[in-house]
Amino acid sequence: MKLIRTAFLLLIVPLFAFTAAHKFYISVTNVDYSEKDEAVQIITRVFIDDMNAVLKERYEFASSLGTDKESSVDKEYLEKYLRTKFLVEINGETVKYDFIGHKYDSDMVICYLEVPNIPLKTLKQIGITNEVLTDIYDDQQNVVHMKVNGKKKSHVLVKSRIKGMLNL
């Protein structure tokens, strides 16, 4: 009986280690320039559960993003976190961006950001520093796609490389 139990543990239990889905930690950000608005417009997508987890870890705040219990305080913490971990540079200088708002799509929170009053003729370089979630997930990848005036560049930002640039 003991031999059967040992055989069961050695053969069956390891199989359960592979049944759990592997969790990927990724965000995707699109940076575009609107000639009509003369603004750098940014859309960033992050998994809701990861954002709630980081807000709990960073601020000891039990966020309810993406639920019926979401409040204005949840939005304040979301914006506060983004402002510390997501930075925009225009022509080598860090600039303030407007947090336009957020919405949800499936299991993602989509945040809308904008840097207004940037004439295209003065725009020479855009830099994005994205450390979102790297403070709690070492394998976090923040993909950034930039497109301005026909020039495109994509970056995969990780904990050891947090900044991507597009030179015009």
pLDDT at 49 (0 to 100): 94
Say what the pTM is. 0.85
Higher pLDDT, 24 or 39: 39
Q: pLDDT band at 24, cuts 50/70/90?
A: confident
* Cα–Cα nearest to 132, from 106, 162, 88, 109: 162
pLDDT tens track for 27-68: 999 999 999 999 999 999 999 999 999 999 999 999 999 999
User: Whole-number mean pLDDT of the chain?
Assistant: 89
Query: What's the whole-number mean pLDDT along residues 112-141?
Result: 96
pLDDT at 13 (0 to 100): 43
Helical pair 72-85 and 48-59, crossing angle rounded to 10 deg: 80
In a domain, 143, yes or no: yes
Question: What residues contact 158, with CB distance under 8 A and at least 6 apart?
Answer: 134, 139, 140, 141, 142
In a domain, 15, yes or no: no
In a domain, 50, yes or no: yes
Q: Are 94 and 88 in contact (CB under 8 A)?
A: yes
Rounded Cα distance between 158 and 9, Å, is 38
Which residue spans within the chain are E strands per DSSP? 26-34, 39-47, 86-90, 93-95, 98-105, 108-115, 125-130, 141-148, 151-157, 163-167
Residue 19 confidence (pLDDT) above 60? no
User: Comparing 20-24, 47-51, 70-74, which segment has the lowest mean pLDDT?
Assistant: 20-24
Residue 135 corresponds to which tokens in the numbers above? 């403070």
Total number of domains in the chain = 1
In a domain, 4, yes or no: no
Look up the domain containing 28 and give its range. Answer: 22-167
In a domain, 145, yes or no: yes
In a domain, 1, yes or no: no
